[in-house]
Amino acid sequence: KAGVTQTPRYLIKTRGQQVTLSCSPISGHRSVSWYQQTPGQGLQFLFEYFSETQRNKGNFPGRFSGRQFSNSRSEMNVSTLELGDSALYLCASSLRLAGGSYNEQFFGPGTRLTVL
Amino acid sequence: SQKIEQNSEALNIQEGKTATLTCNYTNYSPAYLQWYRQDPGRGPVFLLLIRENEKEKRKERLKVTFDTTLKQSLFHITASQPADSATYLCALGRLNYGGSQGNLIFGKGTKLSVKP
């Protein structure tokens, strides 16, 4: 079974631009969560989608948004990029709703975003 | 506020010894706890899950303990090998939705280096 895939793997953008990251979960997984990872803050939760609906949202500004499609693939968008948005963005999929049971999450390799 | 601490940012041990990593938390009542391994440039990989009513879990050379009174989990790697060198993350999980941290809250990780 193929793992979680994320595209692109690397991105370089400048301040003020916007970016869209893509995540394809493991086949059959309906929950997709997004995390931002930085050396200082570690892994921080962005949001979770299940059945095309956002179920949970982290403490990030409205510049961070996402969506999920009917095939469970998910995208996240960051508008008006700031230098502090430079990070590794990780997507994780799980079979069931994250809060519904004892789920392990399967992470993708991440997208390394650098904002100049 | 809720807080998760992994005892040290880095741990260096000799091959063959047992590595012990600590995860402490405050102001939180997790339903379960997970441990992940993360290699440079890659997403975390799930290792073990232990529920709040379990004291200990084992998987091959790995052992996890969970003490809800002390609010602490210990993660042991016995007979450690250089290939075990990686960053290990603990994550606290809950079953009910709500809050901006999502259902999995991650520690910042401990970087383990096993020297031959």
DSSP annotation of B60: T
> Bridge partners of A20?
A77
**pLDDT tens string A11-67:** 999 999 999 999 999 999 999 999 999 988 899 999 999 889 998 888 899 999 999
Inter-chain contacts counted by CB atoms under 8 A, chains A and B: 73
| DSSP reduced 3-state for A64 | strand
**In whole angstroms, what is the distance from residue B89 CA to residue B58 CA?**
17
Structure tokens at B86: 């990686």
Confidence of residue A109 (pLDDT cuts 50, 70, 90): very high
Residues of chain B short of pLDDT 50, as ranges, are none
Q: Which of A112, A114, A94 is nearest to A104 (CA)?
A: A94
User: Which chain B residues touch A47 with a CB distance below 8 Å?
Assistant: 102
Chain A CB contacts of B49 under 8 Å are 102, 104
Q: Does B104 touch chain A (CB under 8 A)?
A: yes
